Chains A and B, each alone.
Chain A
Amino acid sequence: MAEYSPVIPREAVDRSFAKQGPKQYTLWVDIEHCIGCNACTVACKAENNTPVGVDYNRVIEIEEGDFRDAGKTPNVGVTFVPMPCMHCGRPACQAACPVGAITKRKEDGIVLINKDKCIGCRYCAWACPYGAPQFNAEAKIMEKCTLCVHRVEKGLQPACVTTCPAKVRFFGELNELTMLMKERRARGVSISVGGADTKPSVQYTK
């Protein structure tokens, strides 16, 4: 894993955590059945109209195995990991922002960047262990996945979820999603980073 040491005062993270409400909207991504078609990435770009180089959602491809292992059958595989913003319980980006432009909404736990306040210093990009905040070089401000808050507020699901052809992305309240995962007997993986644990809310199963 890449070396990373966020310089965030522990109290600052704790303070932001104390402000969190009980509700947390988030995503569940079923890695096992993801086909790596990148439809979520494209739908996200179309929905949020992001410029080139700014991706709120990116699908990481992990290629493993070897064809040259003598005497054995080729043992290879690919895993696709869609990486949106984790809408953390203790957002490192919020603690790093010098002007208080990043807020975690009490009512639904969505972490948002206030574009009027953001001064484009990119401190959130430094702080985020998941590489979620993206720098918009044209507007000189930071942007990131909003969990399609404009759609959620209208009662719709995020664009990436409705688009997913393999139906591996699910949107909902965190407790509902964990119930759903139990129902389907999916093996959950918590991708929280040790050290300064930011308590990511997005759920993965494999």
Chain B
Amino acid sequence: MNSLIEIGLQAPLRVDSTLCSRYRSTKSECAACAVVCPVPGAVRLGDGADNNGAEINAACVGCGACVSACPNGAIRPREDDRLAERIGERVQAGKVFRFACSRAQGRADLVVPCLSRLTEALVLEPIRGGAEGVALCAPDCSGCGLRKAAPQWARTMAFSQALCESAGLGAERISGVRTLSGEAEEIRLPAKAPTSRRRMFQSIAERWQASGEAALQGEAAEATPVEPFREIVQRHSENPKRMDLLRLLDALPGSGAASKAVATTGFPLAQLEVDSRCVGCNVCETLCPVGALSHREEGGAYTLEFAAAQCTGCGVCALACYHQAMHVREPAGLSQLFERPRITLVSARPRTCRSCGERILGDAAEFCPACQVSGDRRDAIARHFFSGGLKNV
């Protein structure tokens, strides 16, 4: 049925550029999606020109490794595959929930083309549903055509285990199981009511209509003038992947009990620090893909706040800061995902530059340092090279 409703050659995944670190700042060298993509040439990274972000073309096979790998949740399936719902339907309390890749032998509760599609939120979903544990079943990945994606599911498993341990549930509840290669069989649930022919055709018609409407809307959007980049980056979308994870952590049984210190190197988390070089230019806030930074101006004071739970450690803020005032500190505690602190990074009284009218922090005089240096430099350079013209007189 999928081929029936497909319109044109579209990649099964799409990139939400506003969440992509590379798109927002050319200084970012994030290549998380390209590193795990098993198909050569399916992910194209920008080269710093008009669009520096990642693009996925029709060569994509839809394994979903990049969906799981992108810390900012910028890549999503074009058509919602309802994985979380499907897991919720199949989970049985007190039993071990088995995920399997399609090459694994044996029976499993959910079969996905590649385990690398699973995000932390999906791996932990059965635990929320009351399952005793989660098993990720796969044969030796080295013989698989998607083997480049294999490290991703190992990373996801490690992060899920750390989260489990941090929530006081025990890391051993999530385990990887090596199986023989073969054909995985999905345990089919008995249908609650037999589907009638009428119902089936109705559902096809509904999907037809929906996909047609979406295509029409897409065309209409293309006709409108392209929004300039500088306005796009002022918008901050919610990171859907992190929001799913936070919602899930809220609902985990026994969560928030004991958030132990767990080694977190390599996880998409970070702690930020700002030193006295900050001038309050707000570039970090503007360019942060996930909206973890925000500023307030109240009672003549400028405050920069950091929502630690949203931060994915992409480092765009630190890379972009010209004054090198922002520092990414690792390792960060997993507790920031449970406690969600709002940390004040900077609090200072701003001044207004008399020349450009912009806000400045620090104890500069009436002109901001940027205005001061640019005028002074012109003078200084001209003097340095061309004074002493008298010698020719």
Binding site for B on A (CB under 8 A): 1-2, 4, 7, 12, 31-32, 53, 58, 60, 62, 64-65, 75-77, 79, 81, 83, 96-101, 103, 114-123, 125-135, 137, 141, 189, 191, 193, 204, 206
Contact = CB atoms under 8 A, between A and B. Distances in A.
Given A76-B390, A125-B373, A126-B322, 17 more contacts: A2-B373, A2-B377, A2-B380, A7-B322, A53-B355, A62-B382, A77-B390, A79-B386, A98-B287, A99-B233, A114-B229, A115-B228, A119-B283, A121-B286, A126-B370, A128-B377, A206-B386
A1 B389 contact: no
A97 B27 CA distance: 8
Contacts, number: 147
Chain B binding surface, main DSSP class: helix
B164 to A, nearest CB: 38
B212 to A, nearest CB: 32
Contacts of B385: 81, 189, 191, 204
A98 B283 contact: yes
B384 interface: yes
Query: Nearest 4 A-B pairs (CB), nearest first?
Result: A100-B26, A98-B320, A116-B228, A60-B382
Nearest to B319: A98
Interface string B176-197: 0000000000000000000000
B17 to A, nearest CB: 13
Interface of B: 24-27, 48-49, 52, 228-230, 233, 281-283, 286-287, 319-320, 322-324, 355-358, 369-371, 373-390, 392-393
Contacts of B370: 122, 125-126, 135
Contacts of A132: 374
B49 A83 contact: no
A65 B390 contact: yes
A65 B388 CA distance: 9
A119 B27 CA distance: 15
Given A128-B374, A130-B378, A75 B384 contact: no
A174 B335 CA distance: 59
A4 B377 contact: yes
A131 B389 contact: no
A172 to B, nearest CB: 22
